[in-house]
Structure 1
Amino acid sequence: MARASGGRKLLRWFLLLCAGAIVLVLLVVLMFRFVNPPTSAFMVGYQLQGTNKSIAHEWVPMREISHWMPLAVVASEDQRFPHHVGVDFEAVRQALSEYRAGDGLRGASTITQQTAKNLFLWSGRSFIRKAIEAGLALIIDGLWSKQRVLEVYLNIAEFGPGIYGVEAASWTYFGKPARHLTEYQAALLAAVLPNPKVLSVNAPSSYVLERVAWIRGQIAQLGAGYLRDL
């Protein structure tokens, strides 16, 4: 009897701990709807890799970012961004179907999921991390506006080793603020996002240039007003 009672107490404490963790996550995500995150998990991780590693990062509000930049990342990475709930379940279904058919498991991460990963999590391809990422993305989509998701993403995304956020990237690569980015420059920045430690803005490979051309074509198809009603 005493053993059963002890087991129930442990279970109760475990459930309370889980509930507390969920409440804490909700409060932190809700806070970042109004307060700009001063850093991100990826920035901290980069700095912890070595004592001399510094980062370039400067937060700018969405109104000070060229309208081409959110269009470029949506065209490149998540064209159903205005319509899904943080996780694109149709893209996930297609990726799993292709995997079962023998193809490689391709990513189906939305911009919201990438925001959750960069802000709170770690890099890697484990199913545990992907599950946490998806849960956080659903919470973020429920508590933030779509425009806020884009604003945070563009301010914490890595555009090169130690270069975080579109403002730092724009000054580093083009010598001007993000509000003056052209369509081509926005597409070039978006083109390196899948692997900014390997793909280069300064010395774009033929693969990067092909992506730039494809992204610009997708922008033209979506139209300049695609994100206007977010």
Structure 2
Amino acid sequence: MNERILQELRRLVAQNQPIQVLSFYQEFPITSPLILNRFAQGVLQANVQGPGAVCLCWQSQVWLLAAPPLEAVKARVLSFHLPSGRVELDAFSQASSAISRRMVVRVAPPEPLAVDLLDVQKSSPALLTDISMDGAGLMVPVQPPVKIGQNLHLRIHFPQGEVEARAQVNTLTQKGGHLRLSTVFTGPVTPKTALLQYIAERRRQLTAELEQLYQERLKQCADEEAGSL
């Protein structure tokens, strides 16, 4: 374990400095205030606040966000008690540069949306799995093949209307008979307003879903604790 990270965590606890904990809900980045209580034997005890805390019920790892020199640190969730917000974290390591890309506001549709690959043979069908102002995640058939670095012309079918964009394949992984692509937009999205409206609406929906999940989990925890008395 990185000794520098441990020293910084001890300093933050001693100085009673609140930081942020980062988690994700359907690709949407969620930050919540984290109050540091105690650090001993490599375990950080803290309290996480707000509806975003519910993400820790099912996520085994989170990221701590603080001012330099600590910045972004990955941590494992050892235990979490939602009603009190108490959390124990360990296994700290420096976050990779990929976390900064994941922190860009990215939303996933409730169900994958249809995307046309206009410059691929036979106008291959694809599905949109997530999107931001910078790029899109796609699921496409293995055939015809798509390669890293390949330029694509996308037509995305949003409920608000169709948009078109030029994008380049950044990464790809195979899942069964499909490829999961991460793309970066290389030109303007037109019309841009449709994309802005879609992201804004999905953010509103996801925030409402998270609040509902938080309240449901709180009630579930209260019922379980009452039943154990």
Give TM-score scaled by structure 1 length: 0.25
Higher relative contact order (CA 8 A, sep 6+): 1
TM-score (norm 2): 0.26
Higher strand share: 2
